[in-house]
C-alpha cells in the first residue's frame, strides 16, 4: 500500500473541513455540577450552614443565612492548597499521579443595619463578594497494554458509510496512517488492520481552572425567629482540559504501523446568572429549619476553543514516514443548568455548639444546551443528557463546638450520589473535614480547615464497546485558611 501520495491533497482537505465541535453532553453535566467551597469555617463544618447562617459562603446555599448577621463582617480566604494523588488501573496495570494546586477561595463583605428597636423587623443585611462553587483541578495518567484493542477500530467505525472525501478529519488521517482499510476495493465499510495486537496505550489528562460565583445578597430578620434572603449569583466559568493519548508498538511486531498520538486542548469560558431564595425558621432557641430554591443558571454564551494535533509513524514504500495534522475550531452556545432545592436543619446547644444537616436535590436531566446560531442543533446532545444522567442526592452534615470564648473545633461530612442513570459508571463522592477557629481581640477571627475527598470513576480511551475501561480513583487533601473581622 502507498498512501503518502495522497498527503498533499489531504492537507488541503484538512484545512477546509473543521466541523468537529468539542461540545457534548459532558459539557452540560460538567458546568451543571456544584461543589461549594469558600471560607475555612464553612468547609471545616462540611458546608452544612443552610440553617446555621452567619457565614458568607452560606449565602450561595441558602440566602437566608445573611439574615442572621447582626454585625458587619469581612472575610477573605487567600490560601487554599490542594494535594491530590489520583490512581488508575487499566488491564491490571496501575499508575499514580500526584499533583498540587493553590487557589483563592473567597472574599466577602456583609453589612448589617439595625432597624427601629420597636419594629418586628430587627435588621436588614446586604452582602457582596464571591465564593468558589466548583474546582475543576484534576489530573490523572493511565498506561497499560491493550490486550487486542486499538483505536484504529474506533476510526474504522467512524469512517463506515463514508468515502474518503466525506470522512472526518480524524478518520481520514487514520486511513493515511495505515490504521484501517476498506473491506474490499471501493467499499465504504472498513476494518482495522491491527486488531488483536498488544499495543501500549497511554493517556495524560490535566483539567484546570474553576467556577467562581460573584454574589449580591439581601436579607432581613423578622422578630429573631424568621430570616429571609435573596441572592443574585453571577458565576464565571473557566475550564481547560489538556489530554494526550498514544498507542505504540513496543516490540515492532505490526507491519507498517509504529505509533499514533492525539494531543487535545479544550478551553471553555462564560458568564451566567441565577437567583436564589431562602428562608430560615427558628421555632425555638435550640432548633432552626432552612429551605432554599435556586433557579436554573443561564449561561448566555459559553465560548469553546479546541485544538488537536494528530501524529503517526509508519512504514510504506518510501520507508519510515511521519505525518502530522493540526487543526482548531471555536464555537459559542448557551446552557441552562438544572434548578436546585435544599432542605436544612440545625440544633443549637446552649449557644456554644451546633449540629446541622442538609439535603440538596438536583436533576441533571433538566440541563439543556442551546445553539446560538442556526447552523447547528443540539438535539442529539440533549437526548444524551436525558438518557445518561439522572437525579443526584447530596447530603451535608456539620458540627461545631466552642471549647472556650476563643477556640472552636469543627467537623463535617459530604456525600453525593452518582449522577448517572446506568450502573455502568456508578460515581458517588465522599468528603470528610476538620476545622479549627480562633476568635481574637478586637473581633478578628482566624479559621483553618482540612478536607479529605475521594471518589471513583470509570474512564474509556474511546468507544466503550471496543476497549476495556480504566478504573480511576480520585483522592484529594485540601487545607484552607480564612481571616476576617466583625465590626
What pLDDT, in 10s, does the model give residues 159-184?
A: 999 998 899 989 999 999 999 999 99
pLDDT higher than threshold 50 for residue 14: no
> 403: how many CB neighbours lie within 10 A of its CB?
11
Question: Buried b / exposed e across 355-378, counting CB within 10 Å, b at 16+?
Answer: bbbbebebbbbbbbbebeeeeeeb
Quick one: average pLDDT of 288-316? 95
Confidence bin at 118 (pLDDT 50/70/90): confident
365 within a domain of the structure (yes/no)? yes
Q: Can you tell me the distance from the alpha carbon of 249 to that of 304, in angstroms, rounded to the nearest whole number?
A: 34
- Comparing CA positions, the residue from 425, 418, 417 lying closest to residue 470 is 425
> 161: how many CB neighbours lie within 10 A of its CB?
11
> 404: how many CB neighbours lie within 10 A of its CB?
8
- Comparing CA positions, the residue from 68, 93, 108, 111 lying closest to residue 199 is 93
- Comparing CA positions, the residue from 246, 245, 266, 248 lying closest to residue 257 is 248
Q: Give the pairing type, strands 73-90 and 226-248.
A: unpaired
H helix or E strand, kind and range, residue 172: helix 169-176
Q: What is the per-residue pLDDT for 107?
A: 97
pLDDT higher than threshold 60 for residue 6: no
pLDDT higher than threshold 60 for residue 11: no
Task: Count the domains in the chain.
Answer: 1
> 224: how many CB neighbours lie within 10 A of its CB?
14
Q: Give the pairing type, strands 319-336 and 138-145.
A: unpaired
CATH code, domain carrying 342: 2.40.160
Contact 388, 357 (CB under 8 A): no
Q: Can you tell me the distance from the alpha carbon of 130 to that of 118, in angstroms, rounded to the nearest whole number?
A: 34
pLDDT higher than threshold 80 for residue 4: no
List pLDDT tens digits, range 399-441. 999 999 999 999 999 999 999 987 777 789 999 999 999 999 9
Q: How far apart are the first and last CA of the chain?
A: 80
Q: What is the mean pLDDT of the chain?
A: 92
Quick one: average pLDDT of 281-289? 96
Quick one: average pLDDT of 120-124? 95
**In terms of residue numbers, what domain contains 128?**
4-79+95-150+194-389
50 within a domain of the structure (yes/no)? yes
Q: What is the per-residue pLDDT for 3?
A: 59
Quick one: average pLDDT of 190-210? 94
Confidence bin at 129 (pLDDT 50/70/90): very high
C-alpha grid cell for residue 96?
Answer: 499514580
Highest mean pLDDT: which of 250-259, 370-379, 400-409? 400-409
Q: What is the per-residue pLDDT for 9?
A: 36
Distance set, CA 419 to CA 6, 21, 82, 161, 323 (Å)? 46, 24, 24, 35, 41
Confidence bin at 7 (pLDDT 50/70/90): very low
444 within a domain of the structure (yes/no)? no
Q: What is the per-residue pLDDT for 447?
A: 98
pLDDT higher than threshold 70 for residue 20: no
435 within a domain of the structure (yes/no)? no
57 within a domain of the structure (yes/no)? yes
Quick one: average pLDDT of 5-11? 41
List pLDDT tens digits, range 377-406. 899 999 999 999 999 999 999 999 999 999
Contact 231, 151 (CB under 8 A): no
Confidence bin at 116 (pLDDT 50/70/90): confident
Q: How many CA atoms lie within 13 A of 381 on its CB side?
A: 20
Confidence bin at 251 (pLDDT 50/70/90): confident
Q: What is the per-residue pLDDT for 15?
A: 33
Confidence bin at 117 (pLDDT 50/70/90): confident
pLDDT higher than threshold 90 for residue 124: yes
C-alpha grid cell for residue 465?
Answer: 464497546
Q: Can you tell me the distance from the alpha carbon of 158 to that of 177, in angstroms, rounded to the nearest whole number?
A: 15
Q: Can you tell me the distance from the alpha carbon of 125 to that of 111, in angstroms, rounded to the nearest whole number?
A: 6
Quick one: average pLDDT of 271-281? 98
pLDDT higher than threshold 60 for residue 277: yes
84 within a domain of the structure (yes/no)? no
Q: Can you tell me the distance from the alpha carbon of 48 to that of 62, in angstroms, rounded to the nearest whole number?
A: 10
Q: What is the per-residue pLDDT for 387?
A: 93
Q: Can you tell me the distance from the alpha carbon of 380 to that of 369, in angstroms, rounded to the nearest whole number?
A: 10
Quick one: average pLDDT of 268-283? 98
pLDDT higher than threshold 90 for residue 186: no
Confidence bin at 22 (pLDDT 50/70/90): low
Contact 310, 335 (CB under 8 A): no
441 within a domain of the structure (yes/no)? no
Confidence bin at 337 (pLDDT 50/70/90): very high
Reported pTM: 0.92
30 within a domain of the structure (yes/no)? yes
Q: What is the per-residue pLDDT for 376?
A: 81
Amino acid at each position: 500500500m502507498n498512501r503518502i501520495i495522497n498527503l498533499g491533497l489531504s492537507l488541503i482537505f484538512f484545512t477546509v473541513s473543521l466541523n468537529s465541535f468539542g461540545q457534548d453532553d459532558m459539557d452540560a453535566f460538567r458546568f451543571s455540577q456544584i461543589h461549594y467551597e469558600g471560607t475555612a469555617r464553612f468547609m471545616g463544618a462540611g458546608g452544612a450552614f443552610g440553617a446555621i447562617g452567619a457565614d458568607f459562603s452560606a449565602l450561595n446555599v441558602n440566602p437566608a443565612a445573611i439574615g442572621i448577621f447582626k454585625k458587619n463582617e469581612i472575610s477573605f480566604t487567600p490560601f487554599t492548597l490542594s494535594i491530590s494523588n489520583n490512581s488508575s488501573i487499566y488491564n491490571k496495570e496501575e499508575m499514580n499521579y500526584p499533583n498540587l494546586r493553590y487557589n483563592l477561595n473567597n472574599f466577602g463583605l456583609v453589612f448589617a443595619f439595625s432597624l427601629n428597636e420597636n419594629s418586628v423587623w430587627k435588621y436588614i443585611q446586604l452582602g457582596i463578594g464571591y465564593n468558589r462553587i466548583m474546582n475543576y483541578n484534576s489530573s490523572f495518567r493511565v498506561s497499560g497494554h491493550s490486550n487486542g484493542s486499538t483505536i484504529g477500530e474506533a476510526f474504522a467505525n467512524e469512517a463506515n458509510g463514508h468515502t474518503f472525501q466525506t470522512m472526518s478529519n480524524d478518520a481520514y488521517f487514520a486511513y493515511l496512517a495505515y490504521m484501517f482499510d476498506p473491506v474490499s476495493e471501493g467499499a465504504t465499510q472498513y476494518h482495522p488492520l491491527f486488531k488483536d495486537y498488544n499495543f501500549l496505550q497511554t493517556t495524560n489528562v490535566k483539567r484546570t481552572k474553576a467556577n467562581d460565583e460573584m454574589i449580591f445578597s439581601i436579607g432581613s430578620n423578622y422578630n429573631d425567629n424568621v430570616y429571609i434572603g435573596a441572592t443574585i449569583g453571577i458565576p464565571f466559568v473557566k475550564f481547560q482540559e489538556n489530554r494526550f493519548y498514544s498507542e505504540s508498538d513496543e516490540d515492532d511486531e505490526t507491519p507498517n504501523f509504529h505509533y499514533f498520538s492525539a494531543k487535545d486542548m479544550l478551553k471553555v469560558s462564560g458568564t451566567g446568572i441565577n437567583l436564589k431564595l431562602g428562608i430560615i425558621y427558628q421555632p425555638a432557641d435550640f432548633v432552626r429549619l432552612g429551605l432554599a430554591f435556586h433557579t436554573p443558571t443561564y449561561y448566555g454564551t459559553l465560548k469553546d476553543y479546541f485544538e488537536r494535533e494528530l501524529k503517526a509513524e509508519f512504514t510504506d514504500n518510501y520507508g519510515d514516514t511521519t505525518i502530522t495534522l493540526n487543526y482548531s475550531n471555536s464555537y459559542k452556545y448557551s446552557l441552562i443548568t438544572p434548578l436546585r432545592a435544599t432542605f436544612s436543619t440545625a440544633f443549637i446547644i446552649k449557644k456554644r455548639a451546633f449540629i446541622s444537616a442538609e439535603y440538596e436535590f438536583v436533576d441533571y436531566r433538566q440541563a439543556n444546551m442551546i445553539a446560538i446560531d442556526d447552523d447547528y442543533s443540539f438535539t442529539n446532545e440533549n437526548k444524551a443528557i436525558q438518557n445518561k444522567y439522572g437525579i443526584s442526592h447530596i447530603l451535608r452534615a456539620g458540627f461545631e463546638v466552642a471549647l472556650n470564648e476563643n477556640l472552636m473545633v469543627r467537623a463535617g461530612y459530604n456525600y453525593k450520589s452518582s449522577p448517572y442513570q446506568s450502573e455502568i459508571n456508578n460515581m458517588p463522592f465522599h468528603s470528610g473535614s476538620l476545622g479549627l477557629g480562633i476568635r481574637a481581640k478586637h473581633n478578628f477571627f482566624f479559621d483553618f480547615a482540612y478536607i479529605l475527598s475521594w471518589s471513583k470513576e470509570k474512564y474509556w480511551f474511546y468507544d466503550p464497546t471496543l476497549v476495556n475501561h480504566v478504573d480511576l480513583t480520585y483522592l484529594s487533601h485540601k487545607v484552607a485558611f480564612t481571616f476576617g473581622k466583625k465590626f
